[in-house]
């Protein structure tokens, strides 16, 4: 009987009662705590509709934000608030219960299109593919930019600022390379310390990966600064070469320079004589 009242209450609440008022038998027997044709025969519970609205807004806010920050990639950093809202609204949608019927059962798992579920999964997939969680410190109730991300961007800003100040399209880039070499090397080393592989694809958040990738590309391709680092290498290689040749030179000298050539024979002879002498003495 209570179910009938509940049913009637729902009908009144949504103004659908008029269609069924005149003597028609309500399909009460099939009315259990599950999907009941909401949206078709009856309106969706208003709470669920409201939650669905919120979810839709948060999903579109996040989508918009992530598209706007796709290049250069800043979507982790810029869209974190939208992401948190999005997760919350989805959780609310799943967990809100109306007398045993959750909003989840109304919007999810009824058709093969699965609009709600698919949008949710796609947004989550973008976020996870970018390792975005890694940019943040989640130990507090609200995620914050983690210290390592902050520190990376400090050095990154320094390097970029240095390049901007020193770059001069009319001259070659020797000056930029020399003046900014230190910041660049510091940035590169710090980046490499963040991950296990040198490219950083394993765990680092995509904002940071992309910033480093762009910096490396500017440094080596646009500015062509790597050629500066070659000169110490060339000196090193020449020195190594000379040192490697020394033993060969020594043997050549041993072979062709007279006095030294005789020396081994003298040594051999004297050692031979001594041995004979020793054996003779031993017999006596
Ligand atoms: C979506 O973004 C707009 C504008 O930034 C904001 O006013 C609104 O509260 C956001 N909605 C949700 C659900 O995050
Ligand atoms: C849930 O059921 C109770 C009675 O069992 C009813 O009073 C209440 O209005 C129902 N809530 C909703 C949201 O339908
Ligand atoms: C996160 O923040 C807390 C509090 O500021 C700090 O103690 C902790 O070390 C931070 N964790 C990381 C990974 O930065
Ligand atoms: C991270 O930064 C906060 C604030 O700047 C500081 O209190 C905290 O000690 C730092 N944590 C680590 C692990 O460096
Ligand atoms: C780096 O520069 C950007 C833009 O100039 C600024 O928004 C950001 O706060 C700076 N980050 C740090 C860590 O200084
Ligand atoms: C760059 O320009 C400076 C003078 O402005 C010159 O001394 C130097 O040799 C040039 N370097 C290259 C690699 O062209
Ligand atoms: C780095 O940048 C290059 C060219 O800009 C691109 O081809 C490459 O995929 C980027 N790498 C990563 C890890 O994003």
pLDDT at 277: 64
Mean pLDDT of 179-194: 91
Asked, as a colleague might, if the bond just before 72 is cis with ω within 30 of 0, I would say: yes
Q: Which stretch of 167-181, 185-199, 204-218, 259-273 has the lowest confidence by average pLDDT? A: 259-273
Mean predicted confidence (pLDDT) in 107-125 = 88
At 142 the pLDDT is 86
Distances in Å between the Cα of 148 and the Cα atoms of 68, 81, 135 are: 25, 20, 8
Once rounded to an integer, what is the mean pLDDT over residues 31-60?
78
Question: Which is the closest atom of ligand 5 to the Cα of 154?
Answer: 13
C-alpha 206 – ligand 7 centre gap (Å): 11
**Closest ligand 1 atom number to CA of residue 81:** 14
Q: What are the extents of the domains in the chain? A: 1-32, 46-129, 147-223
pTM: 0.69
User: Ligand 4 center to residue 220 CA distance, Å?
Assistant: 33
- The residue behind tokens 């080393």 is 189
Does the pLDDT of residue 10 top 60, yes or no?
no
Q: Are 206 and 73 in contact (CB under 8 A)?
A: yes
Alpha helices in the chain (DSSP H): 2-13, 46-68, 75-78, 80-95, 103-107, 115-129, 147-166, 174-194, 206-217, 230-256, 258-283
**Residues within 6 Å of ligand 2 by CB:** 2, 6, 9, 98-99
Q: Report CA(69)–ligand 1 centroid distance (Å).
A: 17
């Amino acid at each position: 009987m209570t179910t009938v009242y509940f049913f009637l209450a729902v009908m009144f609440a949504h103004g659908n009662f008029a269609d069924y008022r005149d003597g028609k038998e309500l399909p009460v027997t099939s009315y259990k705590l599950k999907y009941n044709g909401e949206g078709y025969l009856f309106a969706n519970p208003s709470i669920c509709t409201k939650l669905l609205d919120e979810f839709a807004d948060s999903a579109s806010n996040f989508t918009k934000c992530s598209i706007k920050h796709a290049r250069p990639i800043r979507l982790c950093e810029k869209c974190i608030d939208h992401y948190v809202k999005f997760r919350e609204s989805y959780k609310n949608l799943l967990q809100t219960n109306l007398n045993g019927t959750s909003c989840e059962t109304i919007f999810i798992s009824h058709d093969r299109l699965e609009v709600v579920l698919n949008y949710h999964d796609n947004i989550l997939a973008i976020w996870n593919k970018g390792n975005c969680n890694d940019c943040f410190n989640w130990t507090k109730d609200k995620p914050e930019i983690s210290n390592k991300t902050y520190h990376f961007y400090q050095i990154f800003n320094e390097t970029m600022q240095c390049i901007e100040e020193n770059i001069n399209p009319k001259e070659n880039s020797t000056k930029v390379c020399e003046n900014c070499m230190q910041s660049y090397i510091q940035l590169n080393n710090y980046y490499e310390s963040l991950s296990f592989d040198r490219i950083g694809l394993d765990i680092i958040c995509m904002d940071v990966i992309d910033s480093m990738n762009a910096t490396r590309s500017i440094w080596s391709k646009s500015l062509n600064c790597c050629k500066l680092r070659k000169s110490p290498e060339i000196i090193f290689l020449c020195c190594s070469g000379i040192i490697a040749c020394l033993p060969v030179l020594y043997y050549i000298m041993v072979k062709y320079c007279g006095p030294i050539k005789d020396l081994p024979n003298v040594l051999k002879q004297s050692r031979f004589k001594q041995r004979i002498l020793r054996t003779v003495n031993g017999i006596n």
